[in-house]
Structure 1
Amino acid sequence: MSPSPDISVVVPVFDEAGAAPDLAREIAAAFAGRRFEIVFVDDASRDDTRAALSALKAEIPELRVLAHGANSGQSRAIRTGILAARAPVIVTLDGDGQNDPADGPALVDALLAGGESLALVGGERVKRQDSQAKKLASRFGNGVRKRLLGDTANDTGCGLKAFRREAFLRLPYFDHIHRYIPALMLREGYEVAFRPVGHRPRQTGQSKYTNFGRLIASASDLLGVMWLQSRSRLPGRISEL
């Protein structure tokens, strides 16, 4: 493991024993030649996810495995990984294998090329490999959120993102924050950008969300983020005298 990684790849997983090991290998291959670490956060899985990942640590020295004692959700698992991360740049992706790790380095390069004011480069999935109902629900939700929050994101549900750790830690934390990171970055005065990324069909396991459950959570979250935006006051350029 690199003593000082430049990139921490954070992956939340829950009951993904079938997908997680191959995903870890793909991440290691995608970032080969760079100083990186891989932080999987097992959100109290009920299957063999934790054991399957732990068995890979000898094969992938960059791999770290953190484990929640109780199931706390995707956003908390992401935050756990970011708090434990040792690099200034974070890459997140979903643990089901639908995000392609090969797209990660390009997001990192775009982030680093954008200057210090650019805090996030998010992926926008093209040719999504989901059911028609899920795609329609996502399109509707993204449209409503984008209109109300003005976050410029066409696909905030894409788990593949690259962003600055310091910027993320400035954001107010709440459950489901992972869908509102672009809006909250803008609220803090940062810039955000987006790039097209691939999307793959799920090969194992099953989705942890339903369209109805996502709708119920999104309604209250959206109102909360709108309130946070209304209470934001930026100080402009800060200088030390």
Structure 2
Amino acid sequence: MSAPPLSVVVPAFNEEGNVLALLDEIVAALRGVTPFEVIFVDDHSRDGTRAALQSALAQVPELRVLGHERQSGQSTAIRTGVKAARGEWIATLDGDGQNDPADLPKLLAARDAGAADVKLYAGWRVNRQDTGSKKWASRWANAIRSRLLHDATPDTGCGTKLFERAAFLDLPYFDHMHRYLPALMQRAGWKTVSVPVNHRPRGAGASKYTNLGRALVGIRDLMGVAWLIKRSRLTGVRELE
């Protein structure tokens, strides 16, 4: 079987009530648009997430399911999926169903119309369907991140993204790195583009993050990413003949 040009990677932790509906939506959005595979990475869920996904393997030929042997976090789950992916380009969606798979063709169209040095198309949630406190915390975090990293990205927390697999795997890996992909891609010498996308209320289950917990981790990560950017050195390379 030839490798598909697109791999959709979905990290999931305790999302039993969301994953099958999300899978159906991904398939509906992409069949007839481009060959693809869907890789769900179960981050050692304690509910029926893994069993639900396994039950769909026989019905959805594009589906692959990977399971972590211990809970390792969203960034690790994304990286697990990207490393296993066969596609040259990777699309990501959060496993809670708040990202709309119908936006994936829009990101693919933006890539097809974009420049060769754009390696990341990042979703921009223009109509957030979250609680007031979560939206306020996100605006605060985005403002601080933008001032410190100068990544010219209005929304780095959106799970809807499209990026080149090779460019992603060349980035430094650390926990929570998925929240800093625009800055990390730019640090590597690539360009990034933000694309307005839909955002939906969570269908089932509860959020795995709290505003305080995310803020405490975010401050430390911001300082680390700022240090990486400051210490970066880029140069062109020419082979002599």
Fold match by TM threshold 0.5: yes
Counterpart position of 1:75? 75
| Alpha-carbon contact 1:9-1:37 (below 8 Å) kept | yes
Measure, in 1, the Cα distance between the counterparts of 2:40 and 2:112. 23
Q: Do structure 1's residue 215 and structure 2's residue 215 form an aligned pair?
A: yes
Which residue is 1:239 aligned to? 238
Which residue in the other structure is 1:84 paired with? Answer: 84
- 1:115 Cα deviation from its structure 2 partner: 2.8
Aligned partner of 1:156 in structure 2 is 156
> Which residue of structure 1 lines up, in the alignment, with residue 195 of structure 2?
195
> For residue 166 of structure 2, what is the aligned residue in structure 1?
166
- Please name the residue that 2:21 is paired with: 22
Deviant stretches of 4+, over 4 Å:
none
Match of 2:144 in 1: 144
Q: In the alignment, residue 7 of structure 1 is paired with which amino acid?
A: L
State the AA in 2 paired with 1:126. V
Deviation at 1:112, TM superposition (A): 3.1
1:164-188 CA-to-partner distances (Å, cap 9, x unmatched) read 0010011000000000000000001
Which stretches in structure 1 are left out of the alignment for 5+ residues? none
Asked whether the equivalents of residues 111 and 163 of structure 1 are also in contact (C-alpha less than 8 Å), the reply is: no
Partner of 1:53: 53
Q: Which residue of 2 aligns with 1:101?
A: 101
Structure 2 gaps of 5+ residues are none
CA distance in 2 between counterparts of 1:44 and 1:70 reads 5
Residue 193 (structure 1) shift = 0.3
What SS does the corresponding residue of 2:97 show, helix, strand or coil? coil
- In structure 2, how many angstroms separate the alpha carbons of the residues matched to 1:111 and 1:117? 10
SS in 2 for 1:180: helix
Question: Does the residue aligned with 2:56 lie in a helix, a strand or coil?
Answer: coil
Letter in 2 for 1:200: R
Give how far 1:57 is off: 1.1
Shift of 1:238: 2.1
Q: Is the 8 A contact 1:91 1:108 kept in 2?
A: no
Deviation readout 1:91-115 (Å, 9 max, x if unpaired)? 0010000000000121122123223
1:58 Cα deviation (Å)? 1.5
1:105-133 superposed Cα distances (whole Å, 9 cap, x missing partner): 21122123223210001000021110000
Partner AA of 1:131 in structure 2: T
Secondary structure of 2:91 counterpart = strand
Shift of 1:25: 0.7
| Partner of residue 225, structure 2 | 225
**SS of match in other structure, 1:55:** helix
Question: SS of the residue aligned with 1:9?
Answer: strand
AA at the equivalent of 1:140: W
The alpha-carbon deviation at position 221 of structure 1 amounts to 0.2
Give, as a single letter, the amino acid of the residue that structure 2 aligns with 1:144.
I
- Matched residue of 2:120: which SS? strand
Q: Tell me the distance in 2 between the aligned counterparts of 1:64 and 1:234.
A: 37
Shift of residue 80, structure 1, vs aligned partner: 0.2
The secondary structure found in structure 1 opposite 2:2 is coil
Over the residues paired in the alignment, what is the CA RMSD in angstroms? 0.8
Residue range with higher mean Cα deviation, 177-186 or 105-114:
105-114
Structure 1 residue 84, shift from structure 2 partner:
0.2
